[in-house]
Amino acid sequence: MQINRTGVGLIALFALLGLAMCLGPALLGADAETSLIVGSTGAIFVLVAGGLAWYARHARAKAARQDWIFENGIKGSATILEVGNSHTTVNEMPLIKLRIDLDIPGVGHTEVTRREVMPVFTANRMSEGLVLPAYANPENPAEFVLVW
Amino acid sequence: MADLDATFSSFAAERGLEPVPGLALGALTPLLVESKHCQVSPAARGRLAGEVDGIVGHLAYTRNRAFRFNVALVEVPASTALVPRLFCIRSGRSTRDDEFYGFEARHSKLWTESTGLNQRFVISVSPFQDPNWMRQLFSPALIDYLATKPPADFSFELAYGALLGSVEDDDPGADGLAALCEATAHVATRIARECEE
Protein backbone atom coordinates (compact mmCIF):
# COMPACT_ATOMS: atom_id res chain seq x y z
CA MET A 1 0.00 0.00 0.00
CA GLN A 2 1.12 3.55 -0.57
CA ILE A 3 -0.30 6.93 0.27
CA ASN A 4 -1.57 9.09 -2.58
CA ARG A 5 -2.48 12.77 -2.91
CA THR A 6 -5.94 12.15 -1.48
CA GLY A 7 -4.31 10.59 1.58
CA VAL A 8 -1.95 13.51 2.07
CA GLY A 9 -4.90 15.86 1.75
CA LEU A 10 -6.94 13.88 4.28
CA ILE A 11 -4.12 13.90 6.82
CA ALA A 12 -3.63 17.64 6.38
CA LEU A 13 -7.38 18.26 6.64
CA PHE A 14 -7.82 16.21 9.82
CA ALA A 15 -4.69 17.69 11.43
CA LEU A 16 -5.51 21.33 10.64
CA LEU A 17 -9.19 21.02 11.45
CA GLY A 18 -8.40 19.16 14.66
CA LEU A 19 -5.87 21.75 15.77
CA ALA A 20 -8.28 24.56 14.95
CA MET A 21 -10.99 22.85 17.01
CA CYS A 22 -8.61 22.28 19.91
CA LEU A 23 -7.29 25.81 20.03
CA GLY A 24 -10.05 27.88 18.41
CA PRO A 25 -12.65 27.93 21.20
CA ALA A 26 -10.12 28.96 23.83
CA LEU A 27 -8.64 31.66 21.58
CA LEU A 28 -12.10 32.97 20.75
CA GLY A 29 -13.09 33.07 24.41
CA ALA A 30 -15.73 30.34 24.35
CA ASP A 31 -17.03 29.00 27.67
CA ALA A 32 -15.37 25.95 29.26
CA GLU A 33 -18.08 23.44 28.31
CA THR A 34 -18.03 24.44 24.61
CA SER A 35 -14.23 24.43 24.60
CA LEU A 36 -14.20 20.93 26.10
CA ILE A 37 -16.71 19.45 23.64
CA VAL A 38 -15.20 21.05 20.52
CA GLY A 39 -11.66 20.47 21.78
CA SER A 40 -12.33 16.75 22.42
CA THR A 41 -13.65 16.32 18.90
CA GLY A 42 -10.61 18.19 17.61
CA ALA A 43 -8.33 15.88 19.57
CA ILE A 44 -9.95 12.87 17.92
CA PHE A 45 -9.32 14.45 14.51
CA VAL A 46 -5.66 15.02 15.42
CA LEU A 47 -5.38 11.41 16.57
CA VAL A 48 -6.88 10.19 13.28
CA ALA A 49 -4.38 12.34 11.34
CA GLY A 50 -1.57 10.96 13.49
CA GLY A 51 -2.72 7.38 12.89
CA LEU A 52 -2.90 7.89 9.14
CA ALA A 53 0.52 9.57 9.12
CA TRP A 54 1.98 6.67 11.10
CA TYR A 55 0.48 4.16 8.67
CA ALA A 56 1.81 6.11 5.67
CA ARG A 57 5.27 6.19 7.23
CA HIS A 58 5.11 2.47 8.01
CA ALA A 59 4.06 1.75 4.40
CA ARG A 60 6.91 3.88 3.08
CA ALA A 61 9.46 2.07 5.29
CA LYS A 62 8.08 -1.30 4.16
CA ALA A 63 8.30 -0.20 0.51
CA ALA A 64 11.92 0.89 1.01
CA ARG A 65 12.70 -2.51 2.55
CA GLN A 66 11.03 -4.30 -0.37
CA ASP A 67 13.02 -2.17 -2.81
CA TRP A 68 16.22 -3.19 -1.04
CA ILE A 69 15.29 -6.88 -1.27
CA PHE A 70 14.42 -6.46 -4.96
CA GLU A 71 17.76 -4.79 -5.70
CA ASN A 72 19.94 -7.07 -3.54
CA GLY A 73 17.92 -10.26 -3.24
CA ILE A 74 18.04 -13.66 -4.89
CA LYS A 75 15.51 -14.05 -7.66
CA GLY A 76 13.34 -17.13 -7.40
CA SER A 77 9.78 -18.13 -8.07
CA ALA A 78 6.62 -18.48 -6.07
CA THR A 79 3.98 -21.00 -7.09
CA ILE A 80 0.56 -20.37 -5.64
CA LEU A 81 -0.80 -23.47 -3.94
CA GLU A 82 -3.99 -22.05 -2.50
CA VAL A 83 -5.88 -18.77 -2.61
CA GLY A 84 -8.16 -17.85 0.25
CA ASN A 85 -10.40 -14.83 0.55
CA SER A 86 -10.46 -13.41 4.05
CA HIS A 87 -13.72 -11.55 3.24
CA THR A 88 -12.01 -8.44 4.52
CA THR A 89 -11.58 -5.43 2.26
CA VAL A 90 -9.42 -2.36 2.63
CA ASN A 91 -10.52 0.57 0.49
CA GLU A 92 -12.51 -1.77 -1.76
CA MET A 93 -9.48 -4.05 -2.14
CA PRO A 94 -9.76 -7.63 -0.83
CA LEU A 95 -7.29 -9.06 1.66
CA ILE A 96 -6.12 -12.29 0.04
CA LYS A 97 -4.47 -15.19 1.85
CA LEU A 98 -1.97 -17.06 -0.29
CA ARG A 99 -0.27 -20.37 0.41
CA ILE A 100 2.88 -20.39 -1.64
CA ASP A 101 5.67 -22.77 -2.64
CA LEU A 102 8.69 -20.49 -2.59
CA ASP A 103 11.63 -21.73 -4.67
CA ILE A 104 14.83 -19.75 -4.10
CA PRO A 105 18.06 -20.92 -5.79
CA GLY A 106 20.52 -22.13 -3.16
CA VAL A 107 17.82 -22.30 -0.52
CA GLY A 108 15.33 -24.76 -1.95
CA HIS A 109 11.57 -25.05 -1.64
CA THR A 110 9.72 -23.60 1.32
CA GLU A 111 5.98 -23.51 1.89
CA VAL A 112 4.90 -20.15 3.25
CA THR A 113 1.71 -18.16 3.66
CA ARG A 114 1.32 -14.54 2.77
CA ARG A 115 -1.53 -12.07 3.23
CA GLU A 116 -1.72 -9.31 0.63
CA VAL A 117 -4.17 -6.49 0.05
CA MET A 118 -4.69 -6.49 -3.70
CA PRO A 119 -6.85 -4.62 -6.18
CA VAL A 120 -9.85 -6.64 -7.35
CA PHE A 121 -8.44 -7.18 -10.84
CA THR A 122 -5.24 -8.61 -9.32
CA ALA A 123 -7.04 -10.79 -6.77
CA ASN A 124 -9.09 -12.27 -9.63
CA ARG A 125 -5.92 -13.48 -11.31
CA MET A 126 -4.52 -15.27 -8.29
CA SER A 127 -5.16 -18.96 -8.84
CA GLU A 128 -3.64 -22.31 -7.94
CA GLY A 129 -0.58 -23.07 -10.05
CA LEU A 130 0.17 -19.44 -10.98
CA VAL A 131 3.92 -18.82 -10.88
CA LEU A 132 5.06 -15.35 -9.86
CA PRO A 133 8.56 -13.94 -9.53
CA ALA A 134 9.88 -13.58 -5.98
CA TYR A 135 12.99 -12.03 -4.48
CA ALA A 136 14.42 -13.27 -1.18
CA ASN A 137 16.73 -11.51 1.24
CA PRO A 138 20.09 -13.31 0.86
CA GLU A 139 20.75 -12.96 4.61
CA ASN A 140 17.30 -14.17 5.59
CA PRO A 141 15.50 -16.09 2.82
CA ALA A 142 12.33 -16.15 4.89
CA GLU A 143 12.01 -12.46 4.11
CA PHE A 144 10.84 -12.18 0.52
CA VAL A 145 9.06 -9.95 -1.92
CA LEU A 146 6.26 -11.41 -4.01
CA VAL A 147 5.92 -9.68 -7.36
CA TRP A 148 2.27 -9.43 -8.38
CA MET B 1 -28.60 4.28 -27.39
CA ALA B 2 -30.13 3.52 -30.79
CA ASP B 3 -27.41 5.64 -32.41
CA LEU B 4 -24.75 3.75 -30.48
CA ASP B 5 -26.20 0.40 -31.56
CA ALA B 6 -26.21 1.64 -35.14
CA THR B 7 -22.60 2.82 -34.82
CA PHE B 8 -21.44 -0.56 -33.55
CA SER B 9 -23.51 -2.45 -36.14
CA SER B 10 -22.12 -0.44 -39.03
CA PHE B 11 -18.58 -0.65 -37.63
CA ALA B 12 -18.89 -4.43 -37.21
CA ALA B 13 -20.26 -4.81 -40.74
CA GLU B 14 -17.47 -2.61 -42.17
CA ARG B 15 -14.74 -4.62 -40.44
CA GLY B 16 -16.25 -8.07 -40.66
CA LEU B 17 -16.67 -8.35 -36.90
CA GLU B 18 -19.30 -10.40 -35.13
CA PRO B 19 -21.78 -8.06 -33.45
CA VAL B 20 -22.97 -9.12 -30.00
CA PRO B 21 -25.54 -7.37 -27.81
CA GLY B 22 -23.44 -7.53 -24.67
CA LEU B 23 -20.46 -9.29 -23.15
CA ALA B 24 -19.29 -9.66 -19.55
CA LEU B 25 -15.54 -9.18 -19.78
CA GLY B 26 -14.70 -9.91 -16.14
CA ALA B 27 -12.74 -7.84 -13.64
CA LEU B 28 -9.62 -7.77 -15.78
CA THR B 29 -8.44 -4.17 -15.45
CA PRO B 30 -9.14 -1.22 -13.12
CA LEU B 31 -11.52 0.44 -15.57
CA LEU B 32 -13.56 -2.74 -15.98
CA VAL B 33 -13.72 -3.13 -12.19
CA GLU B 34 -15.36 0.30 -11.87
CA SER B 35 -18.36 -1.11 -13.69
CA LYS B 36 -20.01 -3.61 -11.35
CA HIS B 37 -20.80 -6.23 -13.94
CA CYS B 38 -17.79 -5.50 -16.17
CA GLN B 39 -20.17 -5.64 -19.10
CA VAL B 40 -19.82 -3.98 -22.47
CA SER B 41 -22.91 -3.36 -24.53
CA PRO B 42 -23.18 -3.15 -27.49
CA ALA B 43 -20.06 -4.99 -28.54
CA ALA B 44 -18.36 -6.72 -31.44
CA ARG B 45 -15.57 -9.25 -31.62
CA GLY B 46 -13.09 -10.40 -34.20
CA ARG B 47 -10.09 -8.89 -35.98
CA LEU B 48 -9.77 -5.35 -34.60
CA ALA B 49 -6.81 -4.18 -36.65
CA GLY B 50 -3.73 -5.66 -38.28
CA GLU B 51 -3.29 -9.18 -36.94
CA VAL B 52 -4.88 -8.43 -33.60
CA ASP B 53 -8.13 -10.08 -32.48
CA GLY B 54 -10.22 -8.80 -29.62
CA ILE B 55 -13.44 -7.26 -28.44
CA VAL B 56 -14.64 -3.70 -28.87
CA GLY B 57 -17.57 -2.46 -26.84
CA HIS B 58 -19.28 0.32 -24.95
CA LEU B 59 -18.77 0.40 -21.19
CA ALA B 60 -21.24 2.50 -19.20
CA TYR B 61 -21.56 2.78 -15.44
CA THR B 62 -22.59 5.21 -12.77
CA ARG B 63 -20.45 6.22 -9.85
CA ASN B 64 -22.32 9.28 -8.66
CA ARG B 65 -22.36 10.44 -12.26
CA ALA B 66 -22.55 8.54 -15.52
CA PHE B 67 -19.34 7.44 -17.19
CA ARG B 68 -19.26 6.24 -20.76
CA PHE B 69 -16.22 4.66 -22.34
CA ASN B 70 -15.60 2.79 -25.53
CA VAL B 71 -13.10 0.05 -24.96
CA ALA B 72 -11.09 -2.44 -26.97
CA LEU B 73 -9.83 -5.54 -25.19
CA VAL B 74 -7.04 -7.71 -26.55
CA GLU B 75 -4.82 -10.34 -24.97
CA VAL B 76 -1.06 -10.13 -24.65
CA PRO B 77 -0.44 -13.24 -22.52
CA ALA B 78 3.36 -13.09 -22.68
CA SER B 79 3.37 -9.73 -20.91
CA THR B 80 2.35 -11.17 -17.52
CA ALA B 81 5.81 -12.44 -16.71
CA LEU B 82 7.55 -9.25 -17.82
CA VAL B 83 5.23 -6.41 -16.96
CA PRO B 84 2.24 -7.55 -14.88
CA ARG B 85 0.72 -4.07 -14.67
CA LEU B 86 1.26 -1.09 -16.96
CA PHE B 87 -1.17 1.82 -17.02
CA CYS B 88 -0.92 4.68 -19.46
CA ILE B 89 -3.80 6.99 -18.58
CA ARG B 90 -4.63 10.33 -20.18
CA SER B 91 -3.75 13.13 -17.75
CA GLY B 92 -6.77 14.40 -15.87
CA ARG B 93 -9.05 11.46 -16.68
CA SER B 94 -11.31 10.40 -13.83
CA THR B 95 -13.16 7.10 -13.66
CA ARG B 96 -15.13 7.66 -10.48
CA ASP B 97 -16.86 10.54 -8.79
CA ASP B 98 -17.99 9.15 -5.48
CA GLU B 99 -15.25 7.69 -3.30
CA PHE B 100 -11.60 8.55 -3.19
CA TYR B 101 -9.22 6.61 -1.01
CA GLY B 102 -6.01 7.89 0.53
CA PHE B 103 -4.14 4.61 0.24
CA GLU B 104 -3.80 2.43 -2.84
CA ALA B 105 -1.90 -0.61 -4.09
CA ARG B 106 1.73 0.21 -4.57
CA HIS B 107 2.86 1.25 -8.02
CA SER B 108 5.76 3.13 -9.55
CA LYS B 109 5.34 6.14 -11.74
CA LEU B 110 7.25 5.65 -14.95
CA TRP B 111 9.55 8.47 -15.89
CA THR B 112 10.23 9.19 -19.54
CA GLU B 113 12.26 11.89 -21.22
CA SER B 114 9.41 12.78 -23.57
CA THR B 115 7.72 16.03 -22.55
CA GLY B 116 4.89 15.33 -24.98
CA LEU B 117 4.24 11.92 -23.46
CA ASN B 118 4.48 13.19 -19.89
CA GLN B 119 2.04 16.01 -20.61
CA ARG B 120 -0.46 13.71 -22.22
CA PHE B 121 -0.30 10.63 -19.98
CA VAL B 122 0.29 9.47 -16.45
CA ILE B 123 2.20 6.20 -16.80
CA SER B 124 2.60 3.76 -13.94
CA VAL B 125 3.82 0.19 -13.61
CA SER B 126 3.85 -2.46 -10.92
CA PRO B 127 6.87 -2.18 -8.63
CA PHE B 128 9.97 -4.31 -9.14
CA GLN B 129 10.15 -3.83 -12.90
CA ASP B 130 13.34 -4.20 -14.86
CA PRO B 131 14.09 -0.58 -15.85
CA ASN B 132 16.11 -1.61 -18.91
CA TRP B 133 13.24 -3.65 -20.27
CA MET B 134 10.84 -0.75 -19.69
CA ARG B 135 13.18 1.59 -21.58
CA GLN B 136 13.25 -0.85 -24.49
CA LEU B 137 9.47 -1.10 -24.49
CA PHE B 138 9.07 2.67 -24.47
CA SER B 139 11.29 3.09 -27.50
CA PRO B 140 11.40 6.49 -29.24
CA ALA B 141 9.03 5.11 -31.89
CA LEU B 142 6.41 4.05 -29.31
CA ILE B 143 6.78 7.31 -27.40
CA ASP B 144 6.32 9.30 -30.59
CA TYR B 145 3.30 7.20 -31.54
CA LEU B 146 1.61 7.60 -28.15
CA ALA B 147 2.31 11.31 -27.99
CA THR B 148 0.94 12.11 -31.42
CA LYS B 149 -1.16 9.43 -33.09
CA PRO B 150 -3.94 7.90 -30.93
CA PRO B 151 -7.34 9.55 -30.39
CA ALA B 152 -7.20 12.51 -27.98
CA ASP B 153 -8.56 10.67 -24.94
CA PHE B 154 -6.91 7.32 -25.63
CA SER B 155 -5.60 5.50 -22.57
CA PHE B 156 -4.65 1.90 -21.99
CA GLU B 157 -4.38 -0.52 -19.10
CA LEU B 158 -2.32 -3.69 -19.29
CA ALA B 159 -3.03 -6.04 -16.40
CA TYR B 160 -1.89 -9.65 -16.29
CA GLY B 161 -2.01 -10.11 -20.03
CA ALA B 162 -5.25 -8.21 -20.69
CA LEU B 163 -4.81 -4.96 -22.60
CA LEU B 164 -7.75 -2.55 -22.51
CA GLY B 165 -7.59 0.53 -24.71
CA SER B 166 -10.25 3.13 -24.03
CA VAL B 167 -11.66 6.50 -25.00
CA GLU B 168 -14.31 8.39 -23.04
CA ASP B 169 -17.07 9.22 -25.46
CA ASP B 170 -20.85 8.76 -25.67
CA ASP B 171 -20.79 7.83 -29.33
CA PRO B 172 -17.44 8.07 -31.10
CA GLY B 173 -18.81 7.04 -34.49
CA ALA B 174 -17.34 4.33 -36.70
CA ASP B 175 -14.19 6.39 -37.30
CA GLY B 176 -13.66 6.83 -33.57
CA LEU B 177 -14.05 3.09 -32.97
CA ALA B 178 -11.63 2.38 -35.79
CA ALA B 179 -9.08 4.76 -34.27
CA LEU B 180 -9.52 3.12 -30.85
CA CYS B 181 -8.99 -0.35 -32.33
CA GLU B 182 -5.97 0.78 -34.35
CA ALA B 183 -4.32 2.38 -31.32
CA THR B 184 -5.01 -0.61 -29.05
CA ALA B 185 -3.74 -3.05 -31.66
CA HIS B 186 -0.62 -0.96 -32.20
CA VAL B 187 0.18 -0.96 -28.47
CA ALA B 188 -0.60 -4.70 -28.18
CA THR B 189 1.68 -5.52 -31.10
CA ARG B 190 4.50 -3.42 -29.68
CA ILE B 191 4.24 -5.03 -26.22
CA ALA B 192 3.99 -8.55 -27.68
CA ARG B 193 7.04 -7.94 -29.87
CA GLU B 194 9.09 -6.67 -26.95
CA CYS B 195 8.04 -9.68 -24.86
CA GLU B 196 9.22 -12.03 -27.62
CA GLU B 197 12.62 -10.34 -27.71
User: What radius of gyration do chain A's Cα atoms show?
Assistant: 22
Closest CA to B176 of B37, B69, B28: B69
- Print burial letters for B69-83: b (CB count within 10 Å at least 16), e (below 16): bbbbbbbbeebbebb
Backbone phi, psi, residue B40, to 5°? -110, 135
What is the predicted pLDDT for the residue at B161? 92
Instruction: Give the C-alpha separation, A26 to A58, whole Å.
Output: 34
Query: Chain-wide mean pLDDT for chain B?
Result: 89
- Print burial letters for A11-46: b (CB count within 10 Å at least 16), e (below 16): beebbebbeebbeebeeeeeeeeebeebbeebeebb
pLDDT > 90: percent of chain B: 54
Higher-confidence residue of B50 and B74: namely B74
What are the pLDDT digits (tens) for A50-59?
A: 999 999 999 8
Region A112-140: mean pLDDT is: 90
Beta-sheet pairing, B85-90 with B43-49: unpaired
Region B164-190: mean pLDDT is: 93
- Across-strand partners of A46? none
Nearest to B128 among A59, A122, A145 (CB): A145
Give me the DSSP letters along chain B.
Answer: -HHHHHHHHHHHHHHT-EEES-EE--S-SHHHHHSTT-EESSEEEEEEETTEEEEEEEEEEEESEEEEEEEEEEE-TTHHHH-SEEEEEETT--S-SS---SEE---EEPP-S-HHHHHHEEEEE-SS--HHHHHHHS-HHHHHHHHHSS-TT-EEEEETTEEEEEEE-S--HHHHHHHHHHHHHHHHHHHHHHHH-
ipTM of the complex: 0.73
- Nearest-CA residue of chain A relative to B83? A148
Do A7 and B128 count as a contact with CB atoms less than 8 A apart? no
Region B100-115: mean pLDDT is: 76
- Nearest-CA residue of chain B relative to A57? B103
Nearest to B104 among A2, A9, A145 (CB): A2
- Nearest-CA residue of chain B relative to A3? B103
Question: Using a CB-CB distance cutoff of 8 angstroms, which residues of chain A are in contact with residue B28?
Answer: 121, 124
Structure pTM? 0.83
At residue A40, the 3 state secondary structure works out as helix
Residue B98 pLDDT more than 70?
A: no
Instruction: Give the C-alpha separation, B43 to B181, whole Å.
Output: 13
Q: Is the dihedral of CA B78, B82, B136, B48 positive or negative?
A: positive
Higher-confidence residue of A99 and A6: namely A99
A62 to chain B, closest Cα gap in Å: 11
Instruction: Give the C-alpha separation, B38 to B29, whole Å.
Output: 9
Instruction: Give the C-alpha separation, B88 to B163, whole Å.
Output: 11
The alpha carbon of A139 is separated from its chain's Cα centroid by a whole number of angstroms, namely: 24
DSSP secondary structure letter of residue A81: E
Nearest to B104 among A4, A11, A66 (CB): A4
Q: Which of A3, A92, A122 to mutate to test the interface with B (most CBs of B within 10 A)?
A: A122
